[in-house]
Amino acid sequence: MIKHIVIVGGGSAGWLTAGTLAAAHSVNCENPIKVSLIESPNIQSIGVGEGTWPSMRSTLDLMGISEHQFISQCDVSFKQGSKFVGWRADDSKDVYYHPFITPPGYEQTNLAAQWLGSNNGHSFADSVSIQSHLCDAGCAPKQISTPEFAGVANYGYHLDAAKFAQMLTQHCIAQLKVTHIEDDVEQVIPHLNGDIRAVGTAQHGEIEGDLFIDCSGARSLLLGQHYKVPLMSQESVLFNNRALAVQVPYENGHDEIASATIATAQPSGWTWDIGLPTRRGVGFAYSADFIDDENASQTLLAHLAKSVSSSVIDKLQPRKIGFNPGYRQDFWVNNCLAIGMSAGFIEPLEASALAMVELSGAMLRDDMPADRQHMDFIAKRFNKRFRYRWERVIEFLKLHYVLSQRNDSEYWRANRDVSGIPKRLQDLLAHWQYQMPSRLDFIENEEIFPSASYQYVLYGMGFETQVRKVGSAHNNHAMSQQLIGDNLLRKDKYIQALPSNRELLAHIANNWSQAHKLKEVMV
């Protein structure tokens, strides 16, 4: 029987996994499973990024975390999608959105066909979604009276990764009864059958468990170092293997907080810009094969010089992060499962890292092995499912690069070389010249990126699909025309009714602070 789960490693990955499992299998359960997390006090968490998907709302809710507490304690802002600048051409006016809202009526009719044939003068995202308009206007995705985790528009979050891990730690220990062990894991002690019996720690001795989860980051202490499961490098497909990250203070406390992650193409990579209530998180993702660290730093600082003063820039010290884009050949071996960077990491584009942590934890939560024999079946299914998911992430991220028409560097030209484009993506691109992406192209129940996401990127980047006049219930011209017209009319109503990001976030933080102080007084 699975009676004790031991998680090696903390950070966002470790504590999200601990909270997900403890909320479902420990608290108020008839036969609770003990969850322990071992975290080294000598290793600082790198953080997997500052952006989440909308799925984080249900993850936090299921863990019993108040959204208002989360927003107030983790320097959180709302994320409604991604804004891409200069990816199609080297032009700051070249902009498109990948919003979180699925186009209305997407399951009933093909809005892309209507948009391609209409030449209405609006971008694809602007035509089929109100969300790009909300982002341009700096609007929050909900009103002040909207309940926690609900929204007028779909949304995820931007957050401070360090504060997020700290809040998760406190909640998991106090509310979900996760055992927290601060210590260094020095050895792995196996059973005769190859399972892990225990891990040896510096101060607490041997800690036995029935299922071990490797959340030790890129070191991958259990899966990589102990089981020697190789990392399947993807550098031949997605070149970026370095990043520079810096925290940029606002010069004015009333500066607008962006509603989307702003990804701006650069000659040899791309910069991200994430707005939090107290600062911006800015970085540059690049490949060491195309630009050296010194020039990469200059690229980042030149980008920052467009929005902040030289006095601020002089105080900034970008942090360099190296990574090998790829994923493990297997994620679950014997009684050991890797989640987070120990399982793999590609690059920051589209913020898939935390989403993969959530998906991994959720599958284990819902597919918890009944005993050791059952575990082998679950492991096989888990490995198959997540190989598929990693492959889809890689294809979707590569899509952003192969459609670019930039010729200002070898980096962008190399990204279009057919030798680095996955065969499945090549076939889909050929198919999409004649037929728009649809749910028939992605048949899993829980696709990591749905076909609507592919449409946003394809048509945002100027991809052309031949519009065929084929009789089909899904090609409802009248419905599509009505939906696009309604969307363009609704945008002004929503913009007028919704507060700005800063207004709503300030209101939530102030109310939570007052309620928290009142609670402390009453206690």
Q: What is the pLDDT along the chain (523 residues), one digit of tens a residue?
A: 899 999 999 999 999 999 999 999 998 888 899 999 999 998 776 654 589 999 999 999 999 999 999 999 999 999 999 999 999 998 878 999 999 999 988 888 888 888 988 767 889 999 999 999 999 999 999 999 999 999 999 999 999 999 999 999 999 999 999 999 999 999 999 999 999 999 999 999 999 999 999 999 999 999 999 999 999 999 999 999 999 999 999 988 788 999 999 999 999 999 999 999 999 999 999 999 999 999 999 999 999 999 999 999 999 999 999 999 999 999 999 999 999 999 999 999 999 999 999 999 999 999 999 999 999 999 999 999 999 999 999 999 999 999 999 999 999 999 999 999 999 999 999 999 999 898 889 888 788 999 999 999 999 999 999 877 655 656 777 888 899 889 888 999 999 999 999 999 999 999 888 877 666 666 6
Distance CA 277, CA 333 (A): 42
Q: Give per-residue pLDDT as tens, 2-49.
A: 999 999 999 999 999 999 999 999 988 888 999 999 999 987 766 545
Residue that the structure tokens 């192969």 belong to: 402
Query: Is there a contact between 252 and 46 (Cβ–Cβ < 8 Å)?
Result: no
Q: What angle do CA 451, 454, 458 make, to 5 degrees?
A: 145
CA proximity to 17, closest of 26, 3, 7: 7
Positive or negative CA dihedral for 354, 362, 53, 400?
Answer: positive
Q: Give per-residue pLDDT as tens, 419-472.
A: 999 999 999 999 999 998 988 898 887 889 999 999 999 999 999 998 776 556
Which pair of structure tokens corresponds to residue 235? 């550098």
CB within 8 A of 380, min separation 6: which ones? none
Angle between helix 55-63 and 352-366 (nearest 10): 50
Tell me if residue 158 falls in helix, strand or coil: strand
Tell me if residue 345 falls in helix, strand or coil: strand
* Secondary structure (H, E, C), 199-221: EEECCCEEEECCEEEECCHHHCH
Query: Is there a contact between 85 and 263 (Cβ–Cβ < 8 Å)?
Result: yes
Q: Calculate the dihedral angle through the C-alpha atoms of 215, 221, 161, 310, rounding to the nearest 10 degrees.
A: -160
Distance CA 259, CA 100 (A): 11
* CA 368 to chain centroid: 24
Which pair of structure tokens corresponds to residue 104? 């209305």
Q: What is the pTM of this model?
A: 0.95
Enter the DSSP assignment of 477. H
Tell me if residue 520 falls in helix, strand or coil: helix
CB within 8 A of 424, min separation 6: which ones? 391, 395
Distance CA 37, CA 59 (A): 19
Give backbone dihedrals phi and psi of 190, rounded to 5 degrees, phi first: -90, 160
CA proximity to 336, closest of 216, 485, 488: 216
Query: Is there a contact between 23 and 176 (Cβ–Cβ < 8 Å)?
Result: yes
Instruction: List b or e across 345-384, with b for residues whose CB sees 16 or more CB atoms inside 10 angstroms.
Output: bbbbbbbbbbbbbbbbbbbbbeebbeeeeebeebbeebbe
Distance CA 101, CA 128 (A): 9
Distinct helix (H) and strand (E) counts, the chain: 16, 21
Q: Calculate the dihedral angle through the C-alpha atoms of 498, 499, 505, 510, rounding to the nearest 10 degrees.
A: -120
Query: Is there a contact between 234 and 326 (Cβ–Cβ < 8 Å)?
Result: yes
CA proximity to 450, closest of 47, 92, 57, 154: 154
Tell me if residue 336 falls in helix, strand or coil: strand
* Secondary structure (H, E, C), 360-424: HHHHHHHCCCCCHHHHHHHHHHHHHHHHHHHHHHHHHHHHHHHCCCCCCCHHHHHHCCHHHCCHH
- Domains observed in the chain: 4-50+160-234+325-390 (3.50.50.60), 242-322 (3.30.310)
